Amino acid sequence: MSLQFGKTLIGKGHPVFVIAEIGINHEGSVETCAKMIEEAATAGASSIKLQTIDPERNYAKDTYSYELFSKAVLSQEETARMFEYTKELGMEPFTTAGDFKTLEWINKLDPSGFKVSSGLLSCLPIIKKAASFSKPILMSTGMADEANIQAALDTVKSIGNDQVALFQCTSLYPAENEDLNLASIPWMEKRFNLPVGFSDHSIGTAAASLSVAAGAVMIEKHFTLDKKLPEYDHRLSLEPKEFALMVESIRQTEKIMGTHDKVLSKETSDMRDQMSRYMVVATDLKKGHILQEEDILFFRLNKQSDAPLNASMFRDLIGHPLRKDMKALDAILQDTI
């Protein structure tokens, strides 16, 4: 269950894919956007995501969204430069778009994939258009139930695109801890058999690491140079140093979580050999003695070079005669019985 996103694999067994959601926090300044991309790379982001929304083709003029997005537009040429700069810094660029025309020119910039925001998840024509470019589709589910998610997935797959991943998301800004519902991450993974991540609208960094423990293979977090700035998504975003701390916490969580099987490391296996209990005889015994329960003690031994028998073989020994004389506390070896 892996997804090829540009040059990066997303899924179980791969490093968590960390997306710096610049969105429109650049406020229409390409210089600010470039600085944010630099800082995101330094902070350890795997990817940057923009929001490429033409307000004239997406929002009624009496809406706050129209007002806000009208002040934060990057031109096609500027967006192309930001995508190339992102790639130069070793990250994967992509964006959200809400109309056919924008999707067409974004596709020409060769993004690593397309993002379907929570607000667009029910807009099946846009999903179908984005999927038609045969690139990965990352979909947020912040305002969706199971049926909505299935309808969106069916739309992508109806044109032969099976490169899809989902985000657990809560479309509140900011989202309170009790609304994050991280338990839905393993549920969605099992229900839809797809990689699942977490689009984090909470304040701080704790939820991101917890989502990794819950099974998230992608983290999307809003990014800013100054979260004290008004409007946009600055308030619920992370500044570069905070983002770097989040990435470090995610990487530590990955180490702590380990693998999805029960395989001992060499160090743990060595420790098991040292700490396990082995069988010794409780008293002096003669050759031919038939071993009984009271004849055996379970000892932690200093050396196992002679391969003493583990206590797990206790029942196999009872009733067996000794092949040689033994002194009290001698280890019972394979050739003892």
**Whole-angstrom distance, CA of residue 8 vs CA of residue 18:** 11
Q: What is the pLDDT of residues 14-25, one digit of tens each?
A: 999 999 999 999
Band (pLDDT 50/70/90 cuts) for residue 305 is low
At 269 the pLDDT is: 79
Residue showing tokens 């969106």: 152
Q: What is the pLDDT of residues 257-301, one digit of tens each?
A: 887 667 777 887 778 888 889 999 999 999 999 999 999 999 998
In the chain, the largest separation of any two C-alpha atoms, in whole Å, equals 99
DSSP code per residue over 187-239: HHHHHH-S-EEEEE-SSSSHHHHHHHHHT-SEEEEEB-S-TTS-STT-TTSB-
Percent of the chain with pLDDT over 90: 84
Residues of the chain with CATH 3.20.20.70: 2-257
Q: Of 71, 78, 74, 85, which Cα lies nearest the Cα of 51?
A: 74
Alpha carbons within 13 A on the beta-carbon side of 42: 11
Residues of the chain with CATH 3.90.1210.10: 266-336
The yes or no reply on domain 2-257 and CATH 3.20.20.70 is yes
Q: What is the mean pLDDT of residues 207-217?
A: 96
Q: Of 101, 156, 154, which Cα lies nearest the Cα of 127?
A: 156
Helices 146-157 and 184-192, interaxial angle, to 10°? 40
CA torsion sign for 192, 98, 62, 174 is: positive
Q: Is the pLDDT of residue 318 over 90?
A: yes
Q: What is the pLDDT of residues 85-124, one digit of tens each?
A: 999 999 999 999 999 999 999 999 999 999 999 999 999 9
C-beta separation of 200 from 220 below 8 A: yes
pTM for this prediction: 0.85
3-state secondary structure of 38: helix
The yes or no reply on domain 266-336 and CATH 3.90.1210.10 is yes
